[in-house]
Amino acid sequence: MYKVFVNDKPLFLTNEVAKETDFQLFLLESVDIEQLIIKMFNNKISKAYLYYPDEKEILKKVKEKIPVKKAGGGLVYNKNGDVLFIFRNGKWDLPKGGTEKGEEIEDTSLREVEEETGVTGLKISRKLQKTYHVFKRNGKYRLKITHWFEMTTDFEGTPIPQENEGIEKVAWLNPSEIKQALNNSYENIKLLFEEEKILK
């Protein structure tokens, strides 16, 4: 099962149908996916299942219906165990961005973190999960698939927000500050922290 966020609301791609649920159910084969997305963006639907019988094919089928944008990002630790956050559009987020032509996803992630925060000396320690969300650009909806990597750095300078990307500030947050920041963040970012069990 995949969890895609549409305007921070969950859209589950599933091959199982739960009997008792307050989720609306749609068949992937016949749904007008753009209409479904519009309803979720306009708060007419708060959570939904998109059903397709073959779990291995489900994401491929969705990609046929909506253009995909690939991105890479980092969950970056310094040597004190703090995590690197950016503040943009009134919310706390992790640095990430789209791939450039011919670029490996690891290189995208490292480049984007450095560009958005000014933090250097980044090393990838492991691959984390992918997150999925729908966004709108130039009047068209796209599915963004973000590949996340855990990174470390011994950087000791001052992070610099990439202002032309709308980033207002960059901060190293300790575990208790992270908890607070996640109250004003995105669902797919919270998902990363839940999965990694960073917040005990």
Same domain for 17 and 57, yes or no, is yes
Enter the tokens of residue 116.
Answer: 């958005």
Q: Which whole number is the average pLDDT over 103-116?
A: 98
- What's the chain's average pLDDT? 93
Q: According to the model, what pLDDT value does residue 120 have?
A: 97
pLDDT tens for 25-79 read: 999 999 999 999 999 999 999 999 999 999 999 999 999 999 999 999 999 999 9
List the CATH number of the domain containing 177.
Answer: 3.90.79.10
Residue ending a domain, choose from 15, 31, 65: 65
pLDDT tens for 125-152 read: 999 999 999 999 888 999 999 999 999 9
Confidence class of residue 23 from pLDDT cuts 50, 70 and 90? confident
Same domain for 43 and 114, yes or no, is no
- 3 to 117, 119, 152: CA distances (angstroms): 28, 30, 27
Percent of the chain with pLDDT over 90: 89
Confidence class of residue 196 from pLDDT cuts 50, 70 and 90? low
Confidence class of residue 200 from pLDDT cuts 50, 70 and 90? very low
Look at residues 30, 171, 146, 26 and name the one whose alpha carbon lies nearest to residue 88. Answer: 171
C-alpha span between 200 and 198 (Å, rounded): 6
Same domain for 175 and 118, yes or no, is yes
Same domain for 111 and 135, yes or no, is yes
Burial class from Cβ neighbours inside 10 Å (0-12, 13-18, 19+) for residue 118 reads middle
Which structural domain range is residue 52 located in?
Answer: 2-65
Helix, strand, coil: what percent of the chain each, to 5?
25, 40, 35
Is the per-residue pLDDT at 11 higher than 90?
yes
- The one-letter amino acid code at 123 reads K
- 148 to 22, 64, 97, 174, 192: CA distances (angstroms): 31, 23, 11, 20, 9
Tell me, yes or no, if the pTM score tops 0.85. Answer: yes
Same domain for 184 and 123, yes or no, is yes
Do the strands 91-93 and 96-98 form a parallel or antiparallel pair, or are they unpaired? unpaired
